[in-house]
Structure 1
């Protein structure tokens, strides 16, 4: 009898939990100020086009070699593949049948037209902060695009991640719709930067550590981008791995041009700068930099040095390799010749705990984006065909231990793991 009661209680608890999952988080709704807010006027379309640049929307919603905005791009996740949808105004395969309210619900509540829960690969955890006015301008812009009839591909996710119940459970734990609330004691510039970084810019989608459920944690303290294996560095005031020692104008220059006296962007960030940030206004980029500079460090900045005969041997070998292959561009002092040849002294790719980016650049080369502020970027050649795993490990270890850089050594096994990693 007791077992029967326990079984009934367990079933009732499961039903209650299921009902709670489906009911939470409750949908929030904010009405448009008027139909004029999302009308296809030149001003609305121009503003929406700018906001789409800020959010780098086309990068995800365009497959390589495919029509712009028509989706089809495969995004690999630890749970399987997501295929990004068509957001052109085609009524059958895109969002042509969506109302402005439908579109806002997708951004703010993570729900598609009809109520289907969206996978958080679409960063509605960030977009929930986008204002209704900005959502309406985006809607006007997207509905001004030429419609493309291209059916969406079904996702390829493993069970149970391919179920709506799994998405509902994830949302119960990791998502709550909210609106952006300006900090009353902060400047308008700081608040604008917070809105762009945490909202439409969705910087935490890459620059945050993710837990086993794929939810971002640790703010903007940096993290390895799942399946891509590039490390998005800390955007906090951490002195060694973050922006603590950077001047605001250096951050602005890096975001707008891809190069600065402090560093050069490579990998996924080069695409973000090329497609998005170089088109963002200087006041908005300055606001973003101002906000980022204010973020407290999210990790201890003290690091125990790793020493020993093996490390000393690797550093000595790396020094010889550096003098053979690298010194002509980056100099004996590691200061380089910015913006053509970025500095290695104090470079975050070398000072942070993860050596992923440094290893990948040595193996595969480094290529900054072509931008309005840097139309003829210099590139670094690959050395994967010149150095074996032990040699790459030695030179990266040397770089991470020189010119006041203080980062852990690198092993040949680490290098080998990235040697076989796709470039993008």
Structure 2
């Protein structure tokens, strides 16, 4: 009997350490080869780490929320094998993949040597079993299960190597298994729960603290009549080709922003406040704030200035799907020069979006509502929408902020101008 050490793998170029976001085992637990034992996070990418040997866990490097240096010991396993494991093997003859990024939700599914049987419509429940029966699931799936009081050992996963997927949990919930008991009457609630922020939620908290503590925000709100734009959008969607995505309002806004920043170049910029250096960009890399199961992420549509309406829509949809599926790369989640924040139908009337540091501007989109508007003779129904946009007041004066938003308003109220070159 010997002791095998798994070390923190190199999870990305230039990354010296990663945050431990989940232990899937504890000291004394038996593990089998290629079982996932830990999940770590760097930036907005989560990586699950498997064990290449079977045995018993005898030592863990730290607690959830701790940071572990690359190549530092992460876990020790008592086993018949001996030696150190500095990183996961590059290839494997088993279905379970080596450490992989699972940025937000489900990890990408890896093909096995033989095609797995079709997943059942509703995976049957089973009785929890001891010892090696440690369910394989992504952190977001474990969080969903915890939030709904589900023991993952009761589920049979439909993913590779029995991995429990998000849809397995959702199907279990849809069947109404183990419903919470009804509570009648009024009663005092004395429960208290303390939750340590880890992983993506901790990264979001840190980012918001930096943004609000270092950037003096100014928020400017303007209403926009999008009646003509909505008519154009409906017509374009009705005539789109099968290979073209359904257009939302955002691709039109992206193209309007490309035109507006030409007249206000300080808006399409980043500011290094430590060095006192403003960097303006010719390229317009638009971040799209995207909600995922694990929290908010910002995939980036690179070079929007070189894309038309349909291309903007296609790339935005691709990035949103990749981000929610957990397959977006680090490059796709960084490098924005200005950001859009939109809650769609939940967008409310007015918002105060927080700037994505170190950028200097963010454009907030509120919901579209039909309202009566005076046209000089009578009130007529118009589709109205507010833009709530925030700016770094150290760089962008109120006049410049207003000029930028007013230019967006003109372009969106007269959408033909968006398609005029130059």
**Shorter-chain TM-score: which interval?**
under 0.3
Pick the structure with greater CA Rg.
Answer: 2
Higher relative helix content: 1
TM-score (norm 1): 0.23
Larger RCO (CA within 8 A; separation ≥ 6): 2
Larger proportion of strand: 2
